[in-house]
């Protein structure tokens, strides 16, 4: 595992990324999209977990143009800064960085993202070439681009008690995309992160199993996940 550099397609800017090599038989590559908090120890831990499952992981530092190596905690001030950086990072720039990360991996290439990164994963599924499947966790801002259509098998995960993403918003997305697999969990926002108060172990485990099953099927592998 190491920090590497990527040259973004959007503006040729050099950004950092966390690279986690595969630990055993390789199932494919995986672009892991951060929360608003940056490429934190939690994101690096997730990367290590996916690497143990056979995926070579790249987790781009999408906010590096604003603050190289940015990562923060869950305090109110840090959350405010993460929100500020997320709003100052245009989606066409994110799409360019995503394509750069996808191109840096040998296929099949999958994408997973959490919170702000859940929306980034949706963007990758809809706009990037070379993506085999995508799993999007509680991407609040997907509603801003819900008219886009995924080019690859894509699943979405939402918490039923997520105050930041009303179920009416999720229902509207489901109505617009009737063939899209949208899973609802008895949990709140950030249920996948054991660093957050809304962490729900059962929901996190089930969402991860669904994510791995999707990648396994879409990648054409045989046998068990």
Q: Could you confirm whether domain 2-218 is CATH 3.40.50.1820?
A: yes
Q: Is the dihedral of CA 120, 122, 128, 133 positive or negative?
A: positive
pTM to 2 decimals? Answer: 0.94
Nearest to 177 by CA among 204, 154, 208, 210: 154
H helices, E strands: number in the chain: 6, 8
Distance between CA atoms of residues 186 and 203, nearest Å:
7
Distance between CA atoms of residues 21 and 72, nearest Å:
24
List alpha helices for 133-194, DSSP H.
167-176
Q: What is the pLDDT of residue 1?
A: 63
Instruction: Return the HEC string of 15-84.
Output: EEEEEECCCCCCCEEEEEECECCECCHHHHHHHHHHHHCCEEEEEECCCCCCCCCCECCCCHHHHHHHHH
In this structure, the strands spanning 2-7 and 14-20 are: antiparallel
pLDDT tens-place values along the chain, 225 residues long: 678 889 878 888 899 999 999 988 899 999 999 999 999 999 999 999 999 999 999 999 999 999 999 998 888 888 899 999 999 999 999 999 999 999 999 989 999 999 999 999 999 999 999 999 999 999 999 999 999 999 999 999 999 999 999 999 999 999 999 999 999 999 999 999 988 888 999 999 999 999 999 999 998 765 454
Q: What is the pLDDT of residue 222?
A: 54
Q: What is the pLDDT of residue 198?
A: 86
């Amino acid at each position: 595992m190491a920090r590497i550099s990527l040259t973004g397609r959007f503006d040729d800017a050099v950004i950092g990324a966390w690279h986690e090599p595969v630990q055993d038989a390789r199932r494919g590559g995986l672009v892991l999209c951060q929360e608003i908090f940056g490429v934190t120890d939690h994101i690096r831990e997730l990367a290590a977990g996916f690497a143990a499952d056979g995926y070579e992981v790249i987790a781009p530092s999408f906010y590096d143009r604003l603050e190289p190596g940015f990562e923060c905690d869950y305090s109110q001030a840090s959350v405010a800064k993460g929100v500020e950086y997320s709003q100052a990072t245009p989606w066409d720039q994110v799409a360019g960085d995503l394509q750069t990360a996808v191109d840096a991996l040998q296929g099949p290439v999958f994408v997973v993202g959490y919170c702000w990164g859940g929306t980034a994963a949706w963007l990758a599924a809809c706009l990037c070439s070379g993506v085999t499947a995508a799993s999007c966790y509680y991407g609040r801002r997907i509603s801003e681009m819900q008219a886009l259509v995924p080019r690859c098998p894509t699943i979405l995960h939402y918490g039923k008690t997520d105050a930041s993403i009303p179920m009416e918003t999720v229902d509207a997305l489901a109505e617009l995309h009737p063939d899209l697999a949208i899973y609802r969990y008895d949990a709140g926002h950030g249920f996948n992160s054991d660093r957050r108060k809304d962490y729900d172990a059962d929901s996190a485990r089930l969402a991860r199993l669904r994510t791995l099953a999707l990648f396994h099927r879409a990648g054409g592998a045989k046998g068990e996940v």
